[in-house]
Structure 1
Amino acid sequence: MIKPSVKILVGGADAKARPQYYVAAGADIVFRGDVDPAALVEHDWSEPRIVEDYRLPFTALSRPAFHKLGDVARYIDSHDGPVPEGVSTPVGFIYFTRGCPRECDFCESRRTKFEALPLDDAIEMLKHYRDNGIRTLNFSDDNLLLLKRDYIIALFRTLREMGFAWEFPNGLEIGRFMRGEELDSELVGHLFQNTRDPTTGHHVGAYRVFVPVETFDHRAGYKKLKPVETQNRIIGEILKSGIPEINFGVVLGRSADDHTFQNIKNGYDCIKSMVKTYAGVDARYSVFHLIPISLFRSMKTNFSADEFPEGWNFYFPIYDGDHFSAMELFDRRVEVIQSIDPSIDVIMKTGMYAYS
């Protein structure tokens, strides 16, 4: 121990999955949920401790202490790469909801309690961000579109009035834009339309969205997904709004076979043709391997997170599939991506995000 007076607190998804690893590595407290203030007061620090799930009251999270960050102006990127031209910085991460009741088996947030800030608290939080110099927002909500329609409209009207730019890096359940058989074009407009401030040139409104396509051929396994034809209709409406950047993602399950890869290519070719009809829209077409979390926590893997931690990512499988070995899954994924979006191949090799 170099400096025993410094106490080490660890939290997050990985700590939740394997807290003993962090205890062994020297952590004083490992939080498997939110930081529990009582645990800090009660802890005698003589022995490491794992604090089980704790959920901080949501309203207590609505006023981040920006003054403790030092130079907020240094926050110039989202986790999806540099922001487009005209989008002002600094960038702040924000969320108005937490939890998601959906059943997606690859997601760590599956079937968790959904909570939303009262609208007045949400607007006060926006004022707090604005007053601390934040110009651009990344929505970190697990499922923002589970909010009531009136709430969403009031929230995004306020965002525009305050001059914010924003993106949706966690993805949106775009099927929620359907009201029965009708596409809610008005709601799509509130989230995605964007302008330039005539005085400052600052981008106001949405500049980037991740659309989780999830799968083209096993859609019945995820209740949130609409038929592909309906999904593409919604994507067309989003593109019509003039959003500058859009990112699509497919999750490659263990059951992937030859038909899966052909369906990915055909499905993305269709979406790619739609995108090309809208000038000025940059797109990215991703295929992700599973990270063995959530329901897949107990799946058999070729390497543990301790043996090969760098392999536990979206771009490499550390498990064999039902029809292909891990390397065959990887090679097939690279092959289909190179045929659809070569920039993704560049991303993997350079670590630099790009859009085609």
Structure 2
Amino acid sequence: MAKYRITLVEPHGVKTRDLDGRVLGTFRPNTPLHTQPIVAGSLIREVGRDFDVRIYNPKIVAPEHEELYRKTSSYGNGSLSTLHHWRVGESIESENFREISLNSDIMGITANHTQCAHSAIALAKKAKEVNPGIKVVYGGSDACSRPHFYLSEGRGEVVVPKDGETTGPRVVSALVGNGRLENIPSIAYRSGEGIRINRPDKSRGWANRMISVPLPAFQLVKEQIPDWTEDYKGPPTGGIKAPLAYAEFARGCPERCGFCTTAGTNYSFMETGQVKQYARHLKAYGISTLLLIADNELAQSLVPHGKIEKGATGRELLIERFAILKEEGFKWNFWNGLQISLLRKQDGSLDSDLMHAMFSGAYEMYIPSEGLIGDIFYDKQRGNPKVRRMDGRNADEVFESNMSILEEIARIGVPKMTLGFIVGYPHDSLERVRLLARPFSKVKERLKRANPGIEVLFTPLLHTPLLGTRDYQEYSSRQLITCDIRKDPELWQFGLTTYAQHEMVEERLRLIEVLNGQSAPPTGR
């Protein structure tokens, strides 16, 4: 019996340019794949006897190819009055994509980023035009936050929840007649003329779901791995070797930050034996540089005895994890940021053992710094008692507590720190943003004193009300979002604003120049 054919697809990248040709935001075509190899590993493990699986990434196939596909008019003033959006990667009109569509029974499209929504939908529509019998399954953060949009306008059959490697095998089996969609928790799917959303399964309570995550099916993309040479800023420097790979050793976050799509989600993590296996798997494909993308790496330090293997604490397993990575010869970048307040023990002292384990092999780290400077401290509804103990302190005390942590990390020898912070909330002002240069310059001076060789960069991000977050719900209900997410999803990126204060776009670029001593950082080809 012939196997069914599944193609997992990473959508095209999107570049947005103003009338002067400036690329607003950041785009890199040669970043690693993460979601598709993990989902493919699960499909092969669970239903591989019935399905052939492959992966298609148009950005890697043709990274230099760009197509102007739409524009946003009447956005701001001057060069921002009209924005042009370019699709980057192999054309959907190519013979290659036509063959892929004709030779697929199911196409799984990752729709993580709102700005790429039109690109994801264009792939589905073209695939169905070429092959009317193909079934389209969407996954990813944006699709999960608005399944009706992807099932109707995007012509999908099913939207799977996050952690698609758990649900995906059951969904594809049901689509070919080996099961029923109505029995699969948390999915959304077209049923007759309507759309149905199944309830989640809450019967099991907390479970460490990361222990069932498969090894990524790198064998399906082994020819592309040498091209995984960039993170969001470009190729790594300082002798760090490509290829790079994303590594997700934990998921979820107990915090309640209003801007985050994973706020308040269940925390789970890989245990020690799994980390060893994962590290050796990466090395087998020539990968020794990792972009760590856990939602909150340090939240694991809060997991007590009794929850995990051998009666260890989460902190002890964190130390073991980084010891394994260092022993195997990896270098790593804390790409998704760290909640540095958790680097203090309950008595308030610095956790030196944990810090040395985590940072002695790090070549770069990203630090969310909204809480570092008292002036820009926004209420994030922090729900964790270990974090709440800092509440009530004045701005100087908060600054010194966090600054002493960063200085110790610098002394350990991390070569580069990037401090990111959000500006451009609806209640923000241009005057306040301009005042940020002085306190952050002091941060840079102190880090340089702690480690004269460290490189310190700053990345201010314009607040983006992401779907599924508390901020989106609040600002949408108050009618503060002035852009249409269905019409102009490309505006949902950190270099643009979706509020009325379009001057913030230029002010952010000026702040980057002042803090980093350069013009806006390179933003792609």
Q: State the alpha-carbon separation in 1 of the partners of residues 315 and 349 from structure 2.
A: 15
Taking a change above 3 Å as real, the CA distance of residues 271 and 151 of structure 1, as seen in their structure-2 partners, is: same
The residue number in structure 1 matching 2:51 is: none
Deviation of 1:176 after TM superposition, in Å, equals 0.9
Deviation of 1:129 after TM superposition, in Å, equals 1.8
CA contact (8 A) 2:139 2:160 kept: yes
The residue number in structure 2 matching 1:19 is: 147
CA contact (8 A) 2:457 2:515 kept: no
Deviation of 1:134 after TM superposition, in Å, equals 1.8
Deviation of 1:342 after TM superposition, in Å, equals 4.8
Taking a change above 3 Å as real, the CA distance of residues 86 and 329 of structure 1, as seen in their structure-2 partners, is: closer
The residue number in structure 2 matching 1:182 is: 349
The residue number in structure 2 matching 1:191 is: 358
Correspondence for 2:493 among 303, 307, 313:
313
Amino acid aligned to 1:66: F
CA contact (8 A) 2:211 2:269 kept: no
Amino acid aligned to 1:213: S
Structure whose alpha-carbon radius of gyration is higher? 2
2:317 is equivalent to residue 151 of structure 1: yes
The residue number in structure 1 matching 2:250 is: 97
Q: Helix, strand or coil for the counterpart of 1:58?
A: helix
The residue number in structure 2 matching 1:41 is: 173
Residues 117-137 of structure 1: per-residue CA shift (max 9 Å, x gap): 222222222222222322111
Q: State the alpha-carbon separation in 1 of the partners of residues 148 and 357 from structure 2.
A: 45
RMSD of aligned residue pairs (Cα, Å)? 2.7
Q: State the alpha-carbon separation in 2 of the partners of residues 155 and 41 from structure 1.
A: 35
Q: State the alpha-carbon separation in 1 of the partners of residues 214 and 459 from structure 2.
A: 33
Amino acid aligned to 1:336: L
The residue number in structure 1 matching 2:452 is: 279
Residues 275-309 of structure 1: per-residue CA shift (max 9 Å, x gap): 33333322221211221120122323111222222
2:287 is equivalent to residue 134 of structure 1: yes
The residue number in structure 1 matching 2:211 is: 59
The residue number in structure 1 matching 2:520 is: 346
Q: Helix, strand or coil for the counterpart of 1:150?
A: helix
Amino acid aligned to 1:67: Q
Deviation of 1:161 after TM superposition, in Å, equals 0.8
Q: State the alpha-carbon separation in 1 of the partners of residues 209 and 268 from structure 2.
A: 10
Correspondence for 1:162 among 317, 328, 341:
328
Taking a change above 3 Å as real, the CA distance of residues 290 and 135 of structure 1, as seen in their structure-2 partners, is: same
Amino acid aligned to 1:207: Y
2:362 is equivalent to residue 206 of structure 1: yes
2:139 is equivalent to residue 29 of structure 1: no
Taking a change above 3 Å as real, the CA distance of residues 209 and 5 of structure 1, as seen in their structure-2 partners, is: same
2:389 is equivalent to residue 236 of structure 1: no
Residues 129-149 of structure 1: per-residue CA shift (max 9 Å, x gap): 222322111111011112222
Deviation of 1:273 after TM superposition, in Å, equals 1.1
CA contact (8 A) 1:34 1:54 kept: no
Amino acid aligned to 1:316: L
The residue number in structure 1 matching 2:472 is: 297
The residue number in structure 1 matching 2:503 is: 328
* Number of equivalences: 334
Q: State the alpha-carbon separation in 2 of the partners of residues 81 and 244 from structure 1.
A: 16
Q: State the alpha-carbon separation in 2 of the partners of residues 336 and 91 from structure 1.
A: 30
Taking a change above 3 Å as real, the CA distance of residues 218 and 340 of structure 1, as seen in their structure-2 partners, is: closer
Deviation of 1:218 after TM superposition, in Å, equals 5.0
Amino acid aligned to 1:16: C
Q: Helix, strand or coil for the counterpart of 1:246?
A: strand
Correspondence for 2:427 among 255, 268, 277:
255
Amino acid aligned to 2:136: I
Q: State the alpha-carbon separation in 2 of the partners of residues 266 and 279 from structure 1.
A: 20
Normalising by structure 1, what TM-score?
Answer: 0.84
Correspondence for 1:172 among 338, 344, 354:
338
CA contact (8 A) 1:84 1:207 kept: no
Deviation of 1:249 after TM superposition, in Å, equals 0.9
Report percent identity of matched pairs: 24
The residue number in structure 2 matching 1:120 is: 273
Taking a change above 3 Å as real, the CA distance of residues 333 and 95 of structure 1, as seen in their structure-2 partners, is: same
The residue number in structure 2 matching 1:246 is: 417
Q: State the alpha-carbon separation in 2 of the partners of residues 89 and 171 from structure 1.
A: 21
Taking a change above 3 Å as real, the CA distance of residues 149 and 5 of structure 1, as seen in their structure-2 partners, is: same
CA contact (8 A) 1:59 1:117 kept: yes
CA contact (8 A) 2:137 2:156 kept: yes
Q: State the alpha-carbon separation in 2 of the partners of residues 76 and 335 from structure 1.
A: 29
Q: State the alpha-carbon separation in 2 of the partners of residues 209 and 34 from structure 1.
A: 25
Q: Helix, strand or coil for the counterpart of 2:520?
A: helix
Amino acid aligned to 2:505: F
Correspondence for 2:230 among 63, 77, 85:
77
